[in-house]
Structure 1
Amino acid sequence: MQLELRHLEAVLRIAEAGSLGRAAVRLGVSQPALSAQLRRIERVTGGELFVRGRNGVEPTELGEFVLSAARRVLGEMEALAAGTRAAAPHPTLRLGCVLLVLVDRLFGHLEEELPDHEIDVTTEHSATTLTRMLGAGKYDAILYGEVGDHEVPLPDGVAARTLVPKEPACVRLSATHPLAGQEEIELADLAGETWTPLTDDGDGGPEAMTDACLRAGFTPKLRYRIADRKMRWELIAAGRAISMCQPTSPYVEGTVLRPLAGDPLTERIRIAWNRAALSQRRADALYRAAGRAYLDSVPHNAFYRTWWEARPELHPVLD
């Protein structure tokens, strides 16, 4: 047997996971199958690559040598793949996104900006997952948010650009809620409410929301972490919870969207891309498409349109 790229990847995943069981899950194989594969790899390399320690498996001296070579070889292969994609006349754009409202209107603008490209868009529930997959070459670009002062760490070889530097969080609540008739709501008036927080992690959202509520004098009661947007809206319409939302969110039957007085919680929207996989021209086209998709959503709510039009310095530069 000769070593192949899949063998190097298996060794690398075992080291990253720290155990055969977790590595098997990440690779999508059974633990006995991965264990048998590791034994075959060790016969080729001439010795054990891992030993069991108190905290899982740890690489041997030979294992460290193989891991160093595996990282170098796999990195070069990823760079080769990214380079050929960037040089192709009409490569597929692989875009990862979190659940931002603008994604609903993004496709039409991508077709206008990149008419000859195949578009592959995947939605994730975690900014951390997006950045990890961008660094691993699974995505060419990602679209994500950062809440409050939080900055999402980006991998090497990545460029980033801010699309919207600031937007205020709003609250969505049942149309029958006692505060539903107010034009804006004081965050302190929501003490005692049950919240359904967004499931995204890595963007600073849960921490920023908790901090904002603490400044308003209460600790939020967080329940119902629901990834599905429709299910969350149904829960809110039934009066069982309330939720922070983007101000561009559309009308949802049985609910109302209201601004929070003083903008106690804000978010920014950013785009990041792998420089080896996406040319500057294509990155600019993605920025323009995302910017136009965002602007399409601004008129959804009259209160936000007024807020937005009074702050031209926040508008994306699309020329």
Structure 2
Amino acid sequence: MLGVADGAELPALAQRLGLGETAVRKRLRRLCGSGANPWLRRTGTDYHLTDRGRDALGAVGEAAAAGAAVCDLVGVDVLPMRHVRVVTAVLGSGSISGAARQLGLPQPSLSAQVTRIERRFGTELFQRTPGGVSAAPALVELLPHLRLLEKALSRLSATGMPDDDPTLPCDLEVVCEFGFAGLLDALREEAMVDVQQHIVSIPGPDWAPQMLSADICVYADLPLASLAVPAGWDTAVAFEEPAYVLLPPGVGVDGETVALRELAGHDWLTGPAGSRNHRSVLAVCRAAGFAPRVRFTALNGPSGRHILQEGAAVALTGATLIPAGAPRTVRLAEDVRVKVVVGWRPGGPATTTAGWLVRWLRGQHLRRLAERRPELLAELRADPAGWPGYAQD
């Protein structure tokens, strides 16, 4: 609305909002509405404020100013309106359970949302006591702006304006090589994206067709078997970690690491022949001076898990990318690294979402390391030149 009032054309408006032009057109069409009294009117390719739109412009400006003030205070680029409603409902009721009843949500779901909002804002918003919750100092500072925002939104709601986060790009397709617990909920709650996630196998040396047809891809970049990035795509490393070896029971290892040469006499488990995992294991072992005796080629799926549980072979993995049911793991002595990469089509809503996804994956990875391998996390943070992604915040 403010962009149209300023006379911004569609490309400039899309850039101003950090969205693709298709997403902006969708929202402009919603404001044109289907009734006799819309907020915008379209003439050719241009949009103009109607009398109703001009009447609502004051509340729109107040909401935008209050939202910008909140964003500046907590250091975020986008403020989802549902976050505002959650925070004010919890504060107004004085408890998570009361706010859950008010919002019609299960209490555990609302409690998880509050935790995610606090994590996104990087600060504690509520002080929790056995009797309920109260505003923490950070929320006390935000309250004047949140109340102005609520008041402006209430005025807009009275006009019948569509209740929609203007930054919500819809129908993005994310293809992942792995499943990440909580990713879809986090995308919808924090990144404000309506996505379809597909977990696919990415076996060959090139991007799979499912990757090329998606908006965002998440995949492992394995040592000596990297995927070539297609023209027109951007990528970023979400995190990298040292390689570990899955060892069968009874295999003795002196020290905290094991050299690849020490594993030359063992049977190996890799992905299917020709897959990136298979090619990576062959290349890494040959670089160490031997050809691995690959006896099993079923790393993923029930048969691969059974082989690992039985301890019939050794296999390579990352520090946190360890399959369920795996035996004990030992770090490789060689500097062999596994990277998790995010790729996206630039220039549209996928760009913003991919950047958020990189940060989310990195944060999840740091939490897993802190829980499972705190000594490794301390080691990586002590070497910022060698491991720049692990700098202490």
The Cα shift of 1:250 comes to 4.9
1:271-308 Cα shifts (integer Å, max 9, x gaps) = 11112553432222222222222223223234532443
2:264 maps to 1:185: no
Match of 1:257 in 2: 329
Q: Which runs of 5+ in 1 are unaligned?
A: 1-81
Q: Give the distance between the partners of 1:199 and 1:219, measured in 2 at CA.
A: 17
1:88-109 Cα shifts (integer Å, max 9, x gaps) = 5431231112237xx3453454
Q: Give the distance between the partners of 2:215 and 2:25, measured in 1 at CA.
A: 13
The share of aligned pairs that are identical, in percent, is 18
CA contact (8 A) 2:273 2:297 kept: no
The Cα shift of 1:128 comes to 5.0
Q: 1:144 to 1:286 in 2, by over 3 A?
A: same
CA contact (8 A) 2:236 2:342 kept: yes
Match of 2:98 in 1: none
2:170 maps to 1:91: yes
Query: What secondary structure does 1:267 align onto?
Result: strand
Q: 1:279 to 1:186 in 2, by over 3 A?
A: closer
Q: 1:283 to 1:216 in 2, by over 3 A?
A: closer
2:188 maps to 1:123: no
2:381 maps to 1:309: yes
CA contact (8 A) 1:167 1:266 kept: yes
The Cα shift of 1:141 comes to 0.6
Q: Give the distance between the partners of 2:300 and 2:268, measured in 1 at CA.
A: 15
The Cα shift of 1:153 comes to 2.0
The Cα shift of 1:257 comes to 0.9
The Cα shift of 1:140 comes to 0.6
1:138-192 Cα shifts (integer Å, max 9, x gaps) = 211101222235542223321112222x422110122x22226752212111112
Match of 1:274 in 2: 345
- Tell me the TM-score normalised to structure 2 length: 0.50
Query: What secondary structure does 1:157 align onto?
Result: coil
2:283 maps to 1:211: yes
The Cα shift of 1:238 comes to 1.0
Q: Which runs of 5+ in 2 are unaligned?
A: 1-19, 27-167
Whose relative contact order is higher, 1 or 2, with alpha carbons under 8 Å and at least 6 apart? 1
Q: Give the distance between the partners of 2:377 and 2:339, measured in 1 at CA.
A: 17
- Tell me the TM-score normalised to structure 1 length: 0.60
Match of 1:110 in 2: 187
Q: Give the distance between the partners of 2:227 and 2:234, measured in 1 at CA.
A: 13
Number of residue pairs matched by the alignment: 230
Match of 1:194 in 2: 267
Q: 1:151 to 1:255 in 2, by over 3 A?
A: closer
Q: Give the distance between the partners of 1:139 and 1:113, measured in 2 at CA.
A: 21
2:216 maps to 1:141: yes
Q: 1:307 to 1:198 in 2, by over 3 A?
A: farther
Q: Give the distance between the partners of 1:142 and 1:92, measured in 2 at CA.
A: 15
2:363 maps to 1:292: yes
